[in-house]
Amino acid sequence: MARAELMDFDKALELFEPVIGLEVHVELNTTTKMFSSAPNPANSQFHVADPNTLITPVCLGLPGSLPVVNGEAVKYSISLGLALGCEIAPSSRFARKNYFYPDLAKNYQISQYDEPIAFDGQVEVELENGRVFTVPIERAHMEEDAGKLTHVGGSTGRIQGAEYSLVDYNRAGVPLVEIVTRPIFGGEADTPALAKAYVATIRDIVLSLGISEARMERGNLRCDANVSLRPRGQEKLGTRTETKNVNSMRSVERAVRYEIQRQAAILAGGGTIIQETRHWHEDTGATSAGRPKSDADDYRYFPEPDLLPVVPSKELVDELRAALPEPPAVRRRRLKSEWGFTDLEFQDVANSGLLIELEATVKAGATPAAARKWWTGEIARLANAAAVDASGLVSPEHVAELAQLVDSGTLTDRLARQVLEGVIAGEGSPQQVVDARGLAVVSDDGALIAAIDEALASQPDVLAKIRDGKVQAAGAVIGAVMKAMQGKADAARVRELVLERAAQTA
């Protein structure tokens, strides 16, 4: 695909003011789906399932089937609404959004339209540079997810050019909350970073509530980014585009940045922006045109006659409000002090969006320092190389186990990195990888001494130097021993033993 002309980002900001609006879909991790008793694949215990096995007549929209609202999902949605500072509607209603698409079993989606369960909230978002923003929330409403299409044949994996398509209805009916912001002004050059930080904050919130697995690479959390530009000094908002399903936090930032640069180039060239959806391409780092979208899209919404209004009692709302976890900003201050990190160290972790992973890793038994070292070091490096979010790469429990294996001397840092790769490759827990790959440090002095004696014997000049008190010469022997042990030895212990043996053979 031809890459669109882009304007330099700073230049674009000089000429235009970017305005964004973000829609985040959160898949709730309830045990069953939004409107049926089918197991919910957005709950990790059902994540792995063959296509079309997590279904009931309701998920398939079979004739005669009827939806029933999942009470747990309603509670989760209320909690989320409260955490977003929203009002909770004393009565809200489901509506049918009518459109034909093969992934939509009934050819309508049950959603909320004019009466969402939560509305008028705000979220505090802290940027990497320390700037704090208040993002206004318009609404959060409940709805059901669609099934998943796989287009077979054709080169792009998209429907165009495909020979046929397969439909998996496992995802059909997964409970979703869609969080919609009001237009966000004033982000200026920080706008892309703000978009990323907002999504990270939503992720922190849903994870702290425990209502979603929030794994973006699995689609538990999906972001649609609306971007428009208006010339400096103009009151009227520019025409917006909606970039759909941006599925990692770094992509959110890149996609917003890309749209600002693309739209600026078009507008500066005298062109007009087409109101449309756009697809984000991770590989090329570009967006491409989707379908035209107008405000007059006619979904023929009407109140869902199969369902009664959702009328949560005041007691329930109060109970859920009382049970809310601390807000992310408060939590950050607490964690920083508990972990004893410097400003820089803490910012490093927060900016990587890894607070939750770190907290979980510490809870699983690692020291804060070790947890930080692994998450912001090797794991972040591997994630970056694979262009995925670090959080999806490995579980906090496994990181804690890895750190403990290093602490106990079973692994050196170098070996631990190999073990980490094995864990990421799906070979099992760190201990299982150690056992399977035979990566543990050789702690048997006998084996080490044999290797040392051999090395000393083959390097008599070095032995002489050590005896003369030039202990730094031991390095060559240590290197040879480590090589002979294929790295599976603790270098400090080897050094001790080398000096010991050199003295003894004197």
Residues of the shown chain interacting with another protein in the complex, contacts defined by CB under 8 A:
57, 60-69, 96, 98, 100, 102, 105-108, 165, 167, 296, 298, 300-302, 305-308
Nearest approach in angstroms of CB 71 to another protein is: 11
Q: How far is CA 256 from each of CA 23, 377, 384, 405, rounded to the nearest angstrom? A: 13, 27, 19, 42
Instruction: For 93-129, give the DSSP string.
Output: --EEEE---TTSTTSEEEE--SS-SEEEEEEEEE-TT
- Please say which residue, 15 or 68, places its beta carbon nearer to another protein: 68
- Please say which residue, 300 or 333, places its beta carbon nearer to another protein: 300
- Please say which residue, 127 or 162, places its beta carbon nearer to another protein: 162
Nearest approach in angstroms of CB 96 to another protein is: 5
Q: Where are the beta strands (DSSP E) in 164-320?
A: 164-168, 175-181, 221-231, 241-246, 276-281, 286-292, 302-303
Nearest approach in angstroms of CB 61 to another protein is: 5
Q: What's the DSSP call for residue 378?
A: I
Instruction: Please report where in the chains the tokens 């399977």 appear, as a residue.
Output: 436
Q: How far is CA 359 from each of CA 64, 225, 283, rounded to the nearest angstrom? A: 48, 29, 32
Other beta carbons less than 10 A from residue 232's beta carbon: 10
Which amino acid is it at 10? D
Nearest approach in angstroms of CB 222 to another protein is: 23
497 and 452 Cβ atoms separated by less than 8 Å? yes
SS3 300: coil
- Please say which residue, 142 or 400, places its beta carbon nearer to another protein: 142
Nearest approach in angstroms of CB 328 to another protein is: 36
- Please say which residue, 63 or 269, places its beta carbon nearer to another protein: 63
Q: Cα separation of 496 and 502, whole Å?
A: 10
- Please say which residue, 16 or 108, places its beta carbon nearer to another protein: 108
Nearest approach in angstroms of CB 35 to another protein is: 9
Nearest approach in angstroms of CB 57 to another protein is: 5
SS3 146: coil
Q: Cα separation of 57 and 431, whole Å?
A: 44
- Please say which residue, 185 or 299, places its beta carbon nearer to another protein: 299
The sign one gets for the Cα dihedral 393, 398, 400, 404 is negative
- Please say which residue, 90 or 309, places its beta carbon nearer to another protein: 309
Nearest approach in angstroms of CB 52 to another protein is: 10
Partners of 242 in the β-ladder: 226, 277
Other beta carbons less than 10 A from residue 102's beta carbon: 13
